[in-house]
A and B are shown apart, each in its own frame.
Chain A
Amino acid sequence: MTSRSPEALVGTRTSSRGDKMDAAGAEPRQRLVEVEHLRRIFDVSKPWITRLLEHEPRRHLKAVDGLDFKIDRGETLGIVGESGSGKSTLARMVVGLLRPSDGRVFIEGIDMAATGDPAARRDVRRRMQMIFQDPYASLNPRWRVGDIVAEPIHAFGLGTGQPNGEPKKPPKGAITARAGELLRLVGLDPADARKYPHEFSGGQRQRIAIARALASNPDFIVCDEPTSALDVSIQAQILNLMRDLQEKLGLTYLLITHNLAVVRHMATRVGVMYLGRLVEIAPTAELFARPRHPYTRMLLDAVPDLAMSGRARTPVGGEVPNPIDPPPGCPFHPRCPKVIARCRTEVPQFVDDVACHLAHDDRNWLAREGATARG
């Protein structure tokens, strides 16, 4: 196994595991983000007095339970999962809005939580931004759009485009011009800077949120369900805009969504989460053509089919269990059509990009089973 990312290794750490070459991996790419053993546990215990009277122990919810993945520069990593799978918790930890209980997030080899250098931390913060699901809640209704978009410029003391080394207070005219430029970049009118968020529709508000995210010249944008509050025709506009901006500015995305079709359209690689763990990660085309984890297969089968091709579908059973009290062994085993005895007791490790005992024994087992079942 070869390491393809000399840059990522600069700094405080060395890679604990070798990297697998993916199908497309011909030339070395730059590693931008590295997530290592990331965990977040929430304490959901009842109040102390209730626990005392009812003899209840503390209860913990493992929202994210040991994630490892990497994102290369310029790619879009999609993370899909159902509600309660920990997708949004993951997004918030990656951008630093939520402190991990355990594990680390490296941006170009710098661990934001551990680095002692405030300037480096600030620079990392500047280089990653987030777009949220609800464009009605993520914009301050009392601020003018121009001020909303300019806020990161002020916050990071940026000038007219060159990060760092600029005077603390850049000239007002330059900021207005930059805000106007950003609005034009996302398909709005620079004159819109004087308006308030309520004067815009949902899709336009999401454009404003994107302009704000771009204001600090980020490399990396975490998008948490960026289009799930929008209608399909508006969704198409926003997804196209995101693709255009990626091409123009060389952005890297972490795209969190429950919508498999959106991920299929946008992502270069896809990770599937279930109850706080990654069950599978693969290049997009491969994941959709040959899922290796039964849960991935189930998700793909469950999506209503617009083409009405009448493809064979395994009926889906059950629902996502309560994450406070996950099943022992493989968390998916109560719903898994292929369950074996080992799944009930032994938690499958995430090895070779998949967390399934059967897939570990035989790499393409599911694809083969599918072929025989359908034939």
Chain B
Amino acid sequence: MNAPLLSVKDLRVEFATRRGPLTALDGVSFDLAPGEILGVVGESGAGKSLTGLAIIGLLDPPGRIAGGEIRLKGERIDNLPPEAMRRIRGRRIGMIFQDPLTSLNPLLRVGDQLVETILTHTSLTPRGARERAIALLTEVGIPAPERRIDGYPHEFSGGMRQRVVIALALCAEPALVIADEPTTALDVSVQAQIIAVLKRLAREHHAAVILITHDMGVIAETADRVAVMYAGRIAEIGRVGEVVRDPLHPYARGLMAAIPTLEGRATRLAQIPGAMPRLSAIPPGCAFNPRCPNVFDRCRIERPPPLAVGERRAACWLYDRGDAPAPLREVVS
């Protein structure tokens, strides 16, 4: 792997509460190569969105980064002053949110929003910026962009709005795009189109993408690697094909088996008993241990670090080769 574009190491996010800090993200580590699409999947409350917000520096208080580091092209960005972070946001990291209506200003024409963003981040003239805006709208597949550029967001349909938001995120040619549930609010037929646009643009612009979604199908179609999150930790991370076909972590296994597919009417879906614990009640040891079918004593006491299994990492004691624990934990390479 060439030098990582983004490197997240031992990221820890806490929320201060009256009863002491709640740990929402704990020991999240991953690298992202230029042009790579990393899917982040998990159930609500697993910490997917928080991971994205922490990277882009948009954690709302009382949430804060309490440990670890985030590096963009080798530079630390987790401890920058707000002004410096604001310059990185938009220029070097773009963001796409779930609801395209709230990401756009309803009072401004779509073109003005694009031009404003382009002027903020580049040295183009206003005329040049408008041309670039039209080019971007063309790229994301908006028909008749010369005319549509002067429309207001409410004149666009849901899918078209999300295309505009993607165009906005790409204005400054960022090296990294974080897309948080970009297709969740859309119908399946439109979802497929947006996925295609996202995938194509990442390839053409060599942008790395963090694709956050609860939909494993979207990840399987789009991402190169996937991180499965559970209770604020990464349960398993690896190439999409391997994780989908042969998940290692018992949680990932349960999750894959629980998804109904188009293939056939099995009698029953596999189900994981219980539900994900609240942040205030994460059990000691492995967070998944009360629901795990493979649980043994060690899981209840000691927390498993991400253990290397081939090219993958799984945070599960099942994959601990007891003879060499120390080098195996050196997995963040």
Q: Is the interface of A mostly helix, strand, loop or mixed?
A: helix
Q: Please indicate the chain B residues that have their CB under 8 angstroms from the CB of A236 in the complex.
A: 258-260, 269-272
Cross-chain contact B265 with A265 (CB below 8 angstroms): yes
How far apart sit A237 and B256, CA to CA, in the bound complex (Å)?
14
How far apart sit A243 and B276, CA to CA, in the bound complex (Å)?
23
Q: Please indicate the chain A residues that have their CB under 8 angstroms from the CB of B268 in the complex.
A: 240, 243
How far apart sit A203 and B45, CA to CA, in the bound complex (Å)?
14
**Stretch of B69-77, B217-225, B315-323 on the interface side:** B217-225
**Contacts between chains A and B (CB distance < 8 A), count:** 123
Q: Is B266 an interface residue (CB 8 A)?
A: yes
How far apart sit A290 and B229, CA to CA, in the bound complex (Å)?
37
Q: Which of B216, B244, B259, B275 contacts A201 (CB 8 A)?
A: B275
Distance in Å: Cβ of B260 to nearest Cβ of chain A: 4
Cross-chain contact A233 with B217 (CB below 8 angstroms): no
Q: Which residue of B lies closest to A320 (CB)?
A: B187
Cross-chain contact B271 with A237 (CB below 8 angstroms): yes
0/1 string, B256-284, CB within 8 A of A gives 1 = 10111111111111111001100000000
Q: Please indicate the chain A residues that have their CB under 8 angstroms from the CB of B217 in the complex.
A: 303-306
Q: Please indicate the chain B residues that have their CB under 8 angstroms from the CB of A325 in the complex.
A: none
Cross-chain contact B259 with A302 (CB below 8 angstroms): no
Q: Which of A201, A203, A231, A260 contacts B188 (CB 8 A)?
A: A260
How far apart sit A82 and B186, CA to CA, in the bound complex (Å)?
9
Q: Which of B157, B187, B271, B275 contacts A240 (CB 8 A)?
A: B271
Cross-chain contact A319 with B158 (CB below 8 angstroms): yes
Q: Please indicate the chain B residues that have their CB under 8 angstroms from the CB of A265 in the complex.
A: 260, 265-266, 269
Interface size class of A (residues with CB under 8 A): 35 or more
Q: Is A316 an interface residue (CB 8 A)?
A: yes
Q: Please indicate the chain B residues that have their CB under 8 angstroms from the CB of A262 in the complex.
A: 260
Distance in Å: Cβ of B298 to nearest Cβ of chain A: 24
Cross-chain contact A264 with B189 (CB below 8 angstroms): no
- From 249 to 274 in chain A, residues with beta carbon under 8 angstroms from any chain B beta carbon are 258-262, 264-265
Q: Which of B188, B220, B240, B265 contacts A302 (CB 8 A)?
A: B188
**Stretch of B84-92, B114-122, B131-139, B190-198 on the interface side:** B190-198
- From 233 to 257 in chain B, residues with beta carbon under 8 angstroms from any chain A beta carbon are 240-241, 244, 254-256
Q: A203-B275, A232-B255, A233-B272 are in contact. Are A264 and B260 (CB under 8 A)?
A: yes
Q: Which residue of A lies closest to B44 (CB)?
A: A231
- Tally chain B residues at the interface, Cβ within 8 Å: 46
Residue with the greatest number of chain B CB neighbours at <10 A, chosen from A237, A240, A285, A304 = A304
Distance in Å: Cβ of B15 to nearest Cβ of chain A: 20
Cross-chain contact B218 with A304 (CB below 8 angstroms): yes
Q: Is B130 an interface residue (CB 8 A)?
A: no
Q: Please indicate the chain A residues that have their CB under 8 angstroms from the CB of B262 in the complex.
A: 260-261, 264, 288, 300, 303, 305
Q: Please indicate the chain B residues that have their CB under 8 angstroms from the CB of A316 in the complex.
A: 189-190, 192-193
Q: Which residue of A lies closest to B266 (CB)?
A: A265
Q: Is A245 an interface residue (CB 8 A)?
A: no
Q: Is A216 an interface residue (CB 8 A)?
A: no
How far apart sit A188 and B265, CA to CA, in the bound complex (Å)?
27
Q: Which residue of B lies closest to A298 (CB)?
A: B189
Cross-chain contact A299 with B188 (CB below 8 angstroms): yes
Q: Please indicate the chain B residues that have their CB under 8 angstroms from the CB of A373 in the complex.
A: none
Cross-chain contact A302 with B216 (CB below 8 angstroms): no
Q: Which residue of B lies closest to A231 (CB)?
A: B43
Q: Please indicate the chain B residues that have their CB under 8 angstroms from the CB of A308 in the complex.
A: 220-221, 240-241, 244
Q: Which residue of A lies closest to B190 (CB)?
A: A319
Cross-chain contact A302 with B269 (CB below 8 angstroms): no
How far apart sit A299 and B189, CA to CA, in the bound complex (Å)?
6
Q: Is B214 an interface residue (CB 8 A)?
A: yes
Q: Is B304 an interface residue (CB 8 A)?
A: no
Q: Which residue of A lies closest to B254 (CB)?
A: A233
Cross-chain contact A234 with B275 (CB below 8 angstroms): yes
How far apart sit A237 and B263, CA to CA, in the bound complex (Å)?
19
Q: Is B215 an interface residue (CB 8 A)?
A: yes
Distance in Å: Cβ of A237 to nearest Cβ of chain B: 5
Q: Is A284 an interface residue (CB 8 A)?
A: yes
0/1 string, A13-48, CB within 8 A of B gives 1 = 000000000000000000000000000000000000
How far apart sit A261 and B220, CA to CA, in the bound complex (Å)?
15
Residues of chain B having any CB pair with chain A under 8 Å: 43-44, 157-160, 187-193, 195-196, 214-218, 220-222, 240-241, 244, 254-256, 258-272, 275-276
Show 10 residue pairs from A and B whose CB-CB distance is below 8 angstroms, ordered by the A residue. Answer: A83-B187, A204-B275, A235-B258, A262-B260, A302-B192, A304-B222, A305-B221, A308-B220, A315-B196, A319-B159
Further 12 A-B residue pairs, CB within 8 A, beyond A262-B260, A304-B217, A319-B190: A83-B187, A231-B44, A231-B214, A234-B275, A236-B271, A259-B260, A265-B260, A285-B264, A303-B192, A304-B218, A306-B256, A315-B196
The 5 tightest CB contacts between A and B, nearest first, are A304-B217, A236-B258, A231-B43, A82-B187, A265-B260
